[in-house]
Amino acid sequence: MHIQVPLADLTPYGAMLERLNSGLAVDTLVSSLVEEAVAVWSRPGFDTLMCLPRLRFEPFEYQLRAAENVLRQMHGRAILADEVGLGKTIEAAIILSELRLRGMASRSIIVVPAGLVEQWQEELDRKFALPSMVLRSGDPLPDEADEWPVMLVSLPTARRPSLRDLLASVRWDLVIVDEAHRVKQPRSASARLVRSLPTRSLLLLTATPVENRLDDIFQLASLVKPGHLGSAKEFRTRHGGSRTPGSQTSGGELPRDLAGLRRELRKVMVRHRRSEVALMLPRRLAETLRVSPSRDEKTLYEAVSERVRIEGREATPSRLLALRAVQRLAGSSPRALAPTLDKVGWHDLAAVAGALPAPSKANALMECLRRYLSEGNKVIVFTAFQETLADLVELCAARELSAVAYHGRLSRREKEAAIAAFRGDIPVLLTTEAAGEGRNLQFCHVMVNFDLPWNPMQIEQRLGRIHRIGQDHNVFVTNLVATGTIEDRILSVLEAKLNLFELVVGELDMVLGRVSDEFDFETSVFSAHVDSVDSEELDARLAKLGEELTRARTDYLNSRARTDTLVATSEEIE
C-alpha cells in the first residue's frame, strides 16, 4: 500500500534531503564522529568504560575496577586512598576521561599542591591525551566554549581571594583534589576553598585520609557525601570521634564499632595496598661516592660560598635567585660555573673558574661508567645544568664512551631520537632534569647523579623514571658529591633523616608536606647557608631541619598505620 506523505511534514528534513539530492560525498571524519556520539548517547550506563581505546597506556586491572566502582556505585563522589605509588592519579584521570567523553565533565578542575602541577599536566597529556590549562593568579577563565580544557591550579594559588571567588562562581562538573589530607580541617583556608566549589562530582586523593584524629576521616567523607556518616555529634557518639585510631604503634585506641565504620567507609572510599594487588617494586640500591676536590677547586668553592653569604644578607629577591643559582652551580662544575659568575659581575672568580680543568668528580664519573658498562648495563647520568651537560658530552667523547645527550632545548623529534638511540645501541644517556619529567625509562636500571638538586622532589622525579611499576630489576643509584659542599650536607640529612633512597616514589612528597603547607626544602637550605656565619653554624641549622624531617616522616608512617586500621582490604571484606 502506498502512503503519500504531505510535503509540509518533510519540512524538518529539508536540509538533509537537499544534501542527499546534491550528491555530495560523505565526510568520513564527520560521519565517524557522529557514529561515536550516537554510541556514547545510546549507552548511558557505566557497564563499559568507553574511554579505554583512547588511552595511550594499559591501566592495571585494579585501577579500572576502582574507576568503575566510583562511577557506578559512588556516583562520581569518592575518596581515592590507595597506598603511595599505586596510581591514584591514574584512577582519577580515567574517571575524568570517561565523564568528559560522555559530556558529563565539560567543566573540570584539578586542585593540587604547587609542586605537582607540571606532573599532572604531563600525565594528562601523555597518557590520556586530555587538553589542560594551568590557572595562575590573575588569569581569566576560558570563554563560554562548550567544553573547556581541564583546569589545573595549585592549592596556594586557588586560595588567593580574587581567584578563589572566580572559581566559586563556576558550576563545576568535576573537582579533583590531590593530597586531600590538606583540606581535612574544615576551618582551614584550603578546606573552605574546596567547599566553596559547587560541583556534581568530587574526587579526593590521599594515601593517608587519617592524620591524628578520627574526625579527619569524618570530614573527608562528609565532603564527598554529606550526611553519610551522620552529623558530627552522631559520628562521635557512634565511633568516638576525637580519639586517635590505630594500634600500639600510633599510641591510640581503636574506634568503637570498627567493623561498622569500615563498611560505611567502603561506600565512599577506594583503597588498595601493595600486598593486595601484588605490585612490589624492586629494591633501590644506592651508593654515595664522596670525592675530594682538588685544592684549587676547594679554594674556589669556599670563595664563592663566602661571597654568596655576604652579599645574600642584603640582596633583593631577584638577586637572591641569581646567588642561589651561583651556589648550586659551584657544587656541579667550576667550568660550568664561570659564565654565571661573569653574569653576576664576579669577573675575578669567573677567570679562576674558567681556567680550572674538569672537576675531580668527572674522573670519578668515568670510572663509575666503565664499571657499570663492563657489566652490560645502560646508564642514565643526571645533571641539573645545561652547562655541565655540555662538559660531560665533551668528556665522554674524549674518553671514547658512546653517549647521547638529552635536554629541554631539543625539539620533540630530537628528544624522541635521543631516547630511541639510548633504547638501542647507545649505552649512556647524559641528561638534564628534562628526562626526569614524563619519561618512563624502565629498560634502564642504573642511574648516576653527577650533581644533586637541592630540591629532594627533583631527586625523586629522577628516580621515578626508572624505579616504577614495570621495572623488573633492582635499581642502582650512584651519587657523586664533592666533600665539604652544601650538596654533601644535604645528602647526609636526606639519607640519615628520611632514608630517601628507600622510600617508594611518591612517599617523599607525603613527608615534606607534613613539615608545613608552604615548606620549601631548597629555600630553607639556601636561607640556612646565607644566615650562617660559618660551616659549623650551617651544620647546626641543617641538623635542626633534619629533626623536622624526622618528625614529619614519623607522622606520615603513623598516618599510614591509622588508615590501614580503619580501611579494610578487599580480602578482609570478603
Nearest alpha-carbon partner for 570 in 264, 208, 279, 270: 270
Q: What are the structural domains, with CATH classification, of the chain?
A: 52-278 (3.40.50.10810), 284-296+360-503+506-561 (3.40.50.300)
Q: In what order do the strands lie in the sheet with 428-431?
A: 284-291, 475-482, 446-449, 379-382, 428-431, 403-406
Query: E-assigned strands of 324-474?
Result: 379-382, 403-406, 428-431, 446-449
pLDDT-wise least confident of 6-10, 236-240, 559-563: 6-10
pLDDT of residue 330: 94
- Average pLDDT of the segment spanning 345-352: 95
Are 106 and 173 in contact by the 8 Å Cβ rule? The answer is yes
pLDDT of residue 201: 96
Summarize pLDDT for 166-187 with one digit per residue, the tens: 999 999 999 999 989 888 888 8
Computed over every residue of the chain, the mean pLDDT equals 85
List residues bridging with 204 in a β-sheet: 79, 177
CA angle in degrees (0–180, nearest 5) for 563-76-180:
40
- Amino acid (1-letter code) at residue 4: Q
Q: Does the pLDDT value for residue 291 go beyond 80?
A: yes
Q: What are phi and psi of 486, to 5 degrees?
A: -65, -35
Summarize pLDDT for 209-255 with one digit per residue, the tens: 887 678 888 999 999 999 999 998 999 888 875 444 444 333 345 78
pTM above 0.85, yes or no: no
- Average pLDDT of the segment spanning 333-349: 93
What contacts 168, CB < 8 A, 6 or more positions away?
Answer: 196, 197, 198
pLDDT of residue 557: 83
Are 377 and 445 in contact by the 8 Å Cβ rule? The answer is yes
Nearest alpha-carbon partner for 80 in 71, 92, 69: 92
Nearest alpha-carbon partner for 104 in 71, 127, 59, 140: 71
Q: Does the pLDDT value for residue 113 go beyond 80?
A: yes
Question: If you compute the radius of gyration of the chain from its CA atoms, what whole number of angstroms results?
Answer: 28
| 498 DSSP 8-state letter | I
Q: Does the pLDDT value for residue 570 go beyond 90?
A: no
- CA separation, residue 422 to residues 386, 387, 410, 430 (Å): 19, 21, 15, 10
Q: How far is CA 501 from the centre of its chain?
A: 17
